[in-house]
């Protein structure tokens, strides 16, 4: 095998992955290590930062072992977003777990901020709703729990960072403490107007600037590998890209100068729509930085808390563990019988942002069967994606021509056909499951001068298109109205 190669790390919630990409944009090797997510108490979700770093090292080692000694030209990082930790600057020792984006420990603080009338100002500065998904409110409590935490952070003794910061720190042996604009914009400490940490927000959340990483472009050389215990990865290899996973997937799927709308299907889901300027909206969408590859690009985003995890939860209630078995059950019936499952298992995310909403199955009759409930479980994914897609059309003032889709659930052709029928738009399914890692590799390739867009990479060429069935349009529209009624029911809180 002939080099050079780009090593792209994709650190997610459930797996740490690494791929090697050659000059033609082909994936020539892979490595993966599973990760665990702990729930020490209801509402808490944590991971071990050291275990994450060790898993990344193992994934890299396995990947590069299959590359025949080819040289690595650059390292790129794609990471789970909004998950944060605090560590000691002098020795890199974590002082907290990695607190996951799924963690809800800041619900009370978020509620207090909304009741105090702070939410409009916070959203106006950051583009983000006041919700426990975003790290700022969690970091307030995390720092307060560290003995002398505030003083040590103000003195620069502590580092507060997202996963990209943690991995850059580890790869550079503590020489590089950075994040990119895209990851920074997800912390609720970053101003879309200043493109920097915001002093007003830092004061509100009691977090000192001295503890935060320097913000840099998503695609730029920022330090080099300094560790020497990863076989095949030589010290001195430049670190050329770092970006959140959903942003990386958006970057990979953009073609030319046209904007792109994509949905990533996973435990939760993210819809993003790229745009040139940061438009703020009041219809439940976030506004965020998409990437910085020499030019800042922005995006609308809708984050949905429970899509795959919601369907899996109802599946377990039916005694079904495997997604394929759930789909096989769902295909036995042609209609949902007017039954809807709203997976507000920890409130509702975009576009509703309602922490008080609670999950429900409504519309049940004695004609319901396990097969109908299996269908209803999977339909909950499709309806929630539609909520955000239609909100993006409303916010942008245009009819969106298609939806690019990625993530494990896109392998389910029955589900994707249902999604196309509900939206009455074509779905463009990416040809690979490694789109986030490839998006990070693309950014590093831009720095090296290898590629300019995803279509230049062989791994991102092709894919399939799923066309909507027009004869289903009226029924899907009627069923979507039923879904909206179900959402209203789960948000109703009698006093």
Q: CB within 8 A of 373, min separation 6: which ones?
A: 314, 318, 339, 341, 361
Q: Is 200 helix (H, G, I), strand (E, B) or coil?
A: helix
Contacts of 258 (CB under 8 A, 6+ apart): none
Is residue 256 scored above 90 in pLDDT? no
Q: Which of 203, 154, 211, 150 is closest to 179 using CA atoms?
A: 211
Say yes or no to pLDDT of 282 above 60: yes
Neighbours of 303 (CB within 10 A): 27
Q: Where in the chain is the domain with CATH 3.30.420.40?
A: 5-246, 255-429+463-494
Q: Using alpha carbons only, what angle is made at residue 155 by residues 150 and 156, rounded to the nearest 5 degrees?
A: 100
What does the pLDDT read at residue 176?
Answer: 96
pLDDT band for 454, please (50, 70, 90 cuts). confident
Whether 2 shows a pLDDT value over 90: the answer reads no
Sign of the Cα torsion 183, 121, 145, 209 reads positive
pLDDT for 397 equals 87
Give the per-residue SS3 of 226-280: CCCCCCCCCCCCEEEEEEEHHHHHHHHHCCCCCCCEEEEECCCEEEEEEECCCCC
- pLDDT-derived band at 494 (thresholds 50, 70, 90) equals low
**Domain 5-246 belongs to what topology?**
Nucleotidyltransferase; domain 5 (3.30.420)
Q: What pLDDT shows up at residue 447?
A: 96
**Mean pLDDT along residues 64-68:** 94
Residue 172 has pLDDT above 90, yes or no: yes
Query: How many Cα neighbours within 13 Å face the side chain of 418?
Result: 26
> How high is the pLDDT of residue 495?
54
The phi and psi torsions of 183 (rounded to 5 degrees) equal -65, -40
Residues 6+ apart with CB under 8 A from 432: 27, 438, 459, 460
Give the per-residue pLDDT at 1: 52
Looking at every residue in the chain, the average pLDDT score rounds to 93
| 22-31 mean pLDDT | 95
| Residues 6 or more apart whose Cβ sits within 8 Å of residue 194 | none
pTM, whole model, 2 decimals?
A: 0.90
User: Would the pLDDT of 401 be above 70?
Assistant: yes
Q: What mean pLDDT do residues 375-390 have?
A: 96
Question: pLDDT tens, 141-167?
Answer: 999 999 999 999 999 999 999 999 999
Using one digit for the tens of pLDDT, what is the confidence trace for 75-129?
Answer: 999 999 999 999 999 999 999 999 999 899 999 999 999 999 999 999 999 999 9
Chain centroid to CA 259: 19
Share of the chain above pLDDT 70, in %: 99
> What is the Cα–Cα distance from 421 to 427, expressed in whole angstroms?
10
- pLDDT at position 375 over 90: yes
The stretch 457-471 carries a mean pLDDT of: 92
Beta strand 84-88 pairing with 158-162? antiparallel
pLDDT of the residue at 24 = 95
Average pLDDT for 284-300: 93
Interatomic CA distance for residues 231 and 16, integer angstroms = 17
Instruction: Look at residue 327 and give its three-state secondary structure.
Output: helix
Helix (H, G, I), strand (E, B) or coil at 75: strand
395 against 239, higher pLDDT: 239
pLDDT for 378: 95
The answer to whether residues 346 and 490 touch, using CB atoms and an 8 Å cutoff, is no
E strand spans, 310-443? 340-342, 360-362, 403-407, 427-429
Contact 115, 88 (CB under 8 A): no
Of 54, 58, 4, residue with least CA distance to 28? 4
Q: Residue 493: is its pLDDT beyond 70? A: no
Calpha distance 265→382 (Å, rounded): 10
* pLDDT score for 43: 87
- Percent of the chain at pLDDT above 90? 80
Q: What is the pLDDT of residue 387?
A: 96
SS3 letters across 277-305:
CCCCCCCCCEEEEEEECCCEEEEEEEEEC
21 - beta bridge partners?
6, 27
Options 3.40.190.10, 3.30.70.260, 3.90.1410.10, 3.30.420.40; CATH for 255-429+463-494 is 3.30.420.40
């Amino acid at each position: 095998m002939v080099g050079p190669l780009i090593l792209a790390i994709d650190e997610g919630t459930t797996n740490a992955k690494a791929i090697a990409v050659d000059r033609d944009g082909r994936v020539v090797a892979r490595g993966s290590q599973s990760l665990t997510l702990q729930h020490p108490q209801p509402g808490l979700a944590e991971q071990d930062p050291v275990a994450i770093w060790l898993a990344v090292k193992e994934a890299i080692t396995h990947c590069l072992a299959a590359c025949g000694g080819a040289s690595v030209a650059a390292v790129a990082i794609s990471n789970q977003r909004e998950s944060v930790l605090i560590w000691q600057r002098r020795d890199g020792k974590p002082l907290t777990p990695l607190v996951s984006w799924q963690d809800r420990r800041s619900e009370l603080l978020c509620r207090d901020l909304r009741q105090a009338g702070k939410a409009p100002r916070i959203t106006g500065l950051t583009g983000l709703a006041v919700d426990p998904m975003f790290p700022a409110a969690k970091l307030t409590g995390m720092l307060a729990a560290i003995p002398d935490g505030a003083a040590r952070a103000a003195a620069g003794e502590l580092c507060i960072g997202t996963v990209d910061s943690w991995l850059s720190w580890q790869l550079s042996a503590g020489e590089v403490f950075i994040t990119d604009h895209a990851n920074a914009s997800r912390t609720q400490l970053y101003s879309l107007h200043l493109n920097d940490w915001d002093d007003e927000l830092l004061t509100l959340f009691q977090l000192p600037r001295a503890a935060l990483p320097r913000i840099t472009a998503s695609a730029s050389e920022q330090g080099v590998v300094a560790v020497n215990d990863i076989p095949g990865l030589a010290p001195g290899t430049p670190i050329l890209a770092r970006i959140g996973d959903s942003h990386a997937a958006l970057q990979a799927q953009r073609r030319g100068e046209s904007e792109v709308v994509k949905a990533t299907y996973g435990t939760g889901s993210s819809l993003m729509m790229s745009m040139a300027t940061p438009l703020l909206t009041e219809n439940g969408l976030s506004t965020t930085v998409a990437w910085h590859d020499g030019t800042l690009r922005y995006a609308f985003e809708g984050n949905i808390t429970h899509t795959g995890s919601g369907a899996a939860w109802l599946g377990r209630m039916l005694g079904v563990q495997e997604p394929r078995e759930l789909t096989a059950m769902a295909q036995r019936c042609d209609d949902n019988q007017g039954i809807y499952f709203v997976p507000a298992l920890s409130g509702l995310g975009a576009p509703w942002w309602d922490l008080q909403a609670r999950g429900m199955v409504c519309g049940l009759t004695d004609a319901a069967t396990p097969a109908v409930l299996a269908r209803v479980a999977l339909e909950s994914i499709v309806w929630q994606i539609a909520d955000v897609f239609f909100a993006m059309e409303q916010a942008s003032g245009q009819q969106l021509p298609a939806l690019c889709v990625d993530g494990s659930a896109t392998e389910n052709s029955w589900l994707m056909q249902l999604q196309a029928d509900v939206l009455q738009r074509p779905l463009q399914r990416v040809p690979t499951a490694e789109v986030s890692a490839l998006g990070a590799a693309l950014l590093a390739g831009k720095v090296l001068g290898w590629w300019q867009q995803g279509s230049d990479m062989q791994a991102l060429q092709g894919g399939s298109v799923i066309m909507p069935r027009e004869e289903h349009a009226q029924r899907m529209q009627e069923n979507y109205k039923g879904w909206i009624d179900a959402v209203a029911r789960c948000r109703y809180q009698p006093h």
